[in-house]
């Protein structure tokens, strides 16, 4: 394989966007690393051209850097329609590989190497560039023990804000700073935050924030402090400042952060960081109770007991002592009620008015009641739509856009299945209501959306009601209702997601979830398609679904490890809400933030 004057010898690694090769520069007789960037097939022609131009511009900006601790970019080019970067080949390993379980690593030399990383980053910042994706996989260790920062090909010039999407989110979720999660501008202190996360991982063998969904991780990054009880107080303070929520509260430079870390390791006194935040158990319990930790949300909390004397373990153990999730939920629920009772009284939100339909979307008899479940259903007419990531939006790699067409219309529940409707099913079938409920009165409010229902029971309810769970394509088509963006209206008007008005509502209603239909509907007259609860669909999850599914009346794959749920929930933050967002969970998952709605629901359908 040939890239201009570079002859490929072997593959070094590959990722979602391309492959890295070891190649020989035939003109200069040296080895280089060739990093390809695969754009074709993932974006439209216009998006491809824009991304190609952006890649070339940023790579040329990064090629200006000349520092012993930054991987040098030699050339940017294109071969057979594939953009590539030719860069310095580093014979060694990544910091990620060096800290893998069983590798026998020791923290001291790796932490010492971070000083070199800090020098390289500060130099880049002085040249007006921010890396934006500092992480162990992008830190290389040469055989002589020196460290180099790699992958400056995705950096952005700070002075190009007006011409590029500087505020767009870029990077690996675990290492993103709060300002990146919020979609705000970045600075050298954003890289410092990621460097502090890296140091935390070296010292504790775990990440400061983690979860089984991006939404859970982003929530923690924005609102929680890292659990650092097993670290010496001085080290904990340095890391806490390096990972401060506000950039202004971090150290002035990356070198200042590493110098403070080195001082703490040598036992020097560390001053309290400005605006230091302390963990408030009551507040934390209230927030956890509000979102009601579950398998598809935050994930089970795990931690280890605080040692009698804070120490730095030579080989820290993973946090593997798990607590009983049901007990945590019960205790958190009691705490959130206590917290909410102290809040200021507020008027509950008004129930949205009846849906209105544009003439071209509403056939005769567009709204009916389900024969058995008593829920409202609306008619979704046949048509086509662009399924997947909307142009210009930040989306996951499994949200590839393609056109889908439905030959026939279908009836879909106007709301999520309620506690009252599920109770009618339980009574007739001799089943049981979910044991876990929300709020002080459990499932007594029949207008609340039902949750803690696994996929099998959700499908059984829909079959009992005379219908079935919607497919992924049906769900997204109905959620968009003719709109092309991720959302069908202002989030504060159409979605219950994690925000201040949720706190106001739960106070006014004894900690219960908001009932269905209290936000504005979309153009089809459907409520809570975004926010409220995630919703089960009938399809198995497949990361390549958008590329492989049929264009007409598509159904999902015939097998998979788990089922898709859509729409976001009370745990979802604004940046992670949208009609194309995909998540999945095991079939037996019974979570507080997953509900469902049905297709059909009328006798004979």
Structural domain range at position 589: 365-595
What whole-number distance in Å separates Cα of residue 466 and Cα of residue 468? 7
Say which residue, 575 or 170, is predicted with more confidence: 575
Name residue 2's beta-bridge partners: 7
Predicted confidence at residue 19, as pLDDT, reads 84
Confidence grade of residue 427 (pLDDT, cut at 50, 70, 90): very high
Q: Which of 25, 133, 191, 576 is catalytic?
A: 133
Same domain, 500 and 558: yes
Q: Kindly state whether residue 330 falls inside one of the protein's structural domains.
A: no
Same domain, 97 and 67: no
Point out the least confidently predicted range of 13-27, 179-193, 298-312, 502-516.
Answer: 298-312
What whole-number distance in Å separates Cα of residue 500 and Cα of residue 507? 11
Question: CB count, 10 Å around CB of 29?
Answer: 7
Same domain, 431 and 513: yes
Count of the separate structural domains present in the chain: 3
Predicted confidence at residue 240, as pLDDT, reads 94
Query: Domain boundary residue among 274, 309, 327?
Result: 274
What whole-number distance in Å separates Cα of residue 478 and Cα of residue 411? 10
Active site residue 133: yes
Point out the least confidently predicted range of 47-61, 351-365, 414-428.
Answer: 351-365
Biggest distance spanned by C-alpha atoms of the chain? 80
Taking residues 122-132, report their average pLDDT: 92
What whole-number distance in Å separates Cα of residue 277 and Cα of residue 241? 10
| β-strand pairing of 402-406 with 2-3 | unpaired
Say which residue, 285 or 393, is predicted with more confidence: 393
Unique residue bearing structure tokens 């979860």: 211
Point out the least confidently predicted range of 12-16, 354-358, 495-499.
Answer: 354-358
What whole-number distance in Å separates Cα of residue 3 and Cα of residue 437? 60
Point out the least confidently predicted range of 63-72, 197-206, 394-403, 429-438.
Answer: 394-403
The CATH number of residue 112's host domain is: 1.10.510.10
Same domain, 129 and 260: yes
Say which residue, 292 or 410, is predicted with more confidence: 410
Q: Which two tokens stand for residue 559?
A: 């097998």
Query: Domain boundary residue among 54, 72, 88?
Result: 88
Predicted confidence at residue 313, as pLDDT, reads 28
Same domain, 132 and 188: yes
Same domain, 237 and 377: no
Is pLDDT above 60 for 444?
A: yes
On whether the CB atoms of residues 1 and 8 are closer than 8 A, the answer is yes
Same domain, 134 and 66: no
Point out the least confidently predicted range of 37-51, 155-169, 488-502.
Answer: 155-169
What whole-number distance in Å separates Cα of residue 439 and Cα of residue 290? 9
Predicted confidence at residue 512, as pLDDT, reads 67
Q: Kindly state whether residue 493 falls inside one of the protein's structural domains.
A: yes
What are the phi and psi torsion angles at 535 (to 5°)? -130, 125
The CATH number of residue 63's host domain is: 3.30.200.20
Q: DSSP assignment of 283-321, as one string?
A: HHHHHHHHHT--TTTT---B--PPPSS----SSPPP---
CA angle 393–395–401, rounded 5-degree value: 85
Is pLDDT above 90 for 247?
A: yes
**Non-local CB neighbours of 238 within 8 Å, separated by 6+ positions:** 257, 260, 261, 263, 264, 270
Predicted confidence at residue 190, as pLDDT, reads 95
Taking residues 479-503, report their average pLDDT: 74
The distance of Cα 286 from the centroid of its chain, to the nearest Å, equals: 22
On whether the CB atoms of residues 460 and 422 are closer than 8 A, the answer is no
Q: Kindly state whether residue 575 falls inside one of the protein's structural domains.
A: yes
What whole-number distance in Å separates Cα of residue 258 and Cα of residue 177? 18
Query: Domain boundary residue among 274, 305, 331?
Result: 274
Predicted confidence at residue 120, as pLDDT, reads 95
CA angle 488–491–492, rounded 5-degree value: 135
Same domain, 172 and 261: yes
Taking residues 25-42, report their average pLDDT: 80
Q: Kindly state whether residue 37 falls inside one of the protein's structural domains.
A: yes
Same domain, 520 and 409: yes
Across the chain, mean pLDDT equals 74
Same domain, 553 and 513: yes
What is the pTM for the complete model shown?
Answer: 0.48
| β-strand pairing of 376-380 with 410-413 | antiparallel
What whole-number distance in Å separates Cα of residue 186 and Cα of residue 197? 16
Taking residues 458-480, report their average pLDDT: 93
Is pLDDT above 80 for 442?
A: no
Say which residue, 44 or 204, is predicted with more confidence: 204
What whole-number distance in Å separates Cα of residue 587 and Cα of residue 375? 25
Most confident of 212-226, 232-246, 286-300: 232-246
CA distances from 533 to 170, 483, 577 (A): 27, 21, 12
pLDDT tens digits along 39-64? 655 555 656 676 677 777 777 778 88
Same domain, 497 and 398: yes
Most confident of 6-10, 256-260, 317-321, 477-481: 256-260
Same domain, 64 and 186: no
Most confident of 228-232, 295-299, 590-594: 590-594
CA distances from 242 to 191, 197, 257 (A): 10, 8, 7
Predicted confidence at residue 134, as pLDDT, reads 94
Is pLDDT above 50 for 365?
A: no
CA angle 580–35–9, rounded 5-degree value: 135
């Amino acid at each position: 394989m040939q890239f201009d004057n570079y002859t490929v010898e072997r593959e070094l690694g590959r990722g979602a966007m391309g492959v890295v090769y070891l190649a020989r520069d035939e003109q200069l007789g040296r080895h280089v690393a060739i990093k390809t960037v695969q754009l074709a097939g993932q974006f439209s022609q216009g998006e491809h051209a824009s991304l190609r131009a952006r890649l070339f511009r940023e790579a040329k900006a990064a090629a200006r850097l000349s520092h012993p601790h930054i991987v040098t970019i030699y050339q940017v080019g294109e071969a057979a329609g594939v953009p590539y970067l030719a860069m310095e080949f580093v014979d060694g390993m990544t910091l990620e590989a060096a800290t893998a379980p069983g590798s026998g690593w020791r923290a001291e030399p790796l932490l010492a190497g971070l000083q070199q990383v800090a020098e390289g980053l500060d130099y880049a910042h002085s040249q007006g560039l921010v890396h934006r994706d500092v992480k162990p996989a992008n830190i290389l260790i040469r055989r002589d023990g020196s460290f180099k920062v790699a992958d400056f090909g995705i950096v952005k010039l700070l002075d190009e804000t007006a011409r590029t999407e500087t505020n767009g989110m870029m990077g690996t979720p675990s290492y993103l700073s709060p300002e990146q999660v919020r979609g705000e501008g970045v600075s050298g202190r954003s890289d410092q935050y990621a460097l502090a996360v890296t140091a935390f991982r070296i010292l504790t063998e775990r990440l400061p924030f983690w979860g089984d969904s991006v939404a859970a991780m982003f929530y923690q990054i924005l609102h929680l402090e890292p659990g650092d009880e097993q670290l010496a107080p001085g080290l904990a303070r340095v890391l806490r400042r390096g990972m401060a929520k506000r950039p202004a509260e971090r150290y002035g430079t990356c070198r200042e952060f590493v110098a403070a870390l080195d001082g703490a390791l040598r036992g020097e006194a560390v001053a309290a960081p400005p605006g230091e935040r302390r963990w408030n158990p009551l507040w934390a319990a209230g927030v956890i109770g509000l979102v009601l930790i579950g398998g598809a949300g935050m994930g089970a909390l795990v931690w280890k007991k605080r040692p009698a004397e804070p120490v730095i373990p030579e080989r820290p153990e993973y946090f593997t002592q798990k607590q009983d999730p049901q007990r945590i939920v019960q205790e958190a629920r009691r705490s959130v009620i206590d917290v909410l009772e102290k809040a200021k009284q507020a008027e509950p939100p008004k129930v949205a008015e009846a849906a209105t339909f544009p003439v071209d979307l509403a056939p005769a008899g567009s709204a009916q009641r389900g024969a058995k479940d008593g829920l409202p259903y609306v008619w979704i007419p046949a048509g086509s739509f662009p399924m997947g990531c909307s142009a210009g939006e930040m989306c996951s790699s499994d949200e590839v856009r393609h056109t889908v067409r439905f030959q026939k219309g279908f009836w879909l529940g106007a709301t999520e299945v309620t506690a009252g409707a599920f109770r009618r099913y339980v009574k007739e079938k001799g089943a049981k209501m979910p044991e876990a409920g929300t709020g002080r009165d459990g499932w007594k409010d029949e207008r609340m959306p039902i949750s803690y229902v696994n996929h099998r029971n959700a499908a059984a309810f829909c079959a009992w009601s005379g219908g079935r769970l919607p497919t992924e394509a049906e769900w997204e088509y109905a959620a968009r209702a003719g709109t092309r963006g991720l959302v069908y209206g202002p989030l504060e008007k159409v979605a219950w997601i994690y925000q201040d008005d949720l706190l106001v509502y739960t106070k006014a209603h004894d900690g219960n979830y908001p009932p269905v239909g209290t936000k504005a509907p979309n153009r089809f007259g459907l409520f809570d398609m975004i926010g409220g609860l995630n919703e089960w669909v009938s399809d198995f999850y497949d990361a390549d679904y958008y590329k492989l599914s049929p264009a007409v009346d598509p159904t999902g794959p015939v097998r998979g490890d788990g089922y898709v749920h859509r729409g976001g929930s009370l745990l979802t933050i604004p940046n992670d809400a949208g009609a194309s967002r995909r998540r999945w969970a095991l079939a037996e998952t019974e979570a507080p933030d997953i509900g469902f709605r049905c297709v059909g629901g009328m006798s004979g359908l």
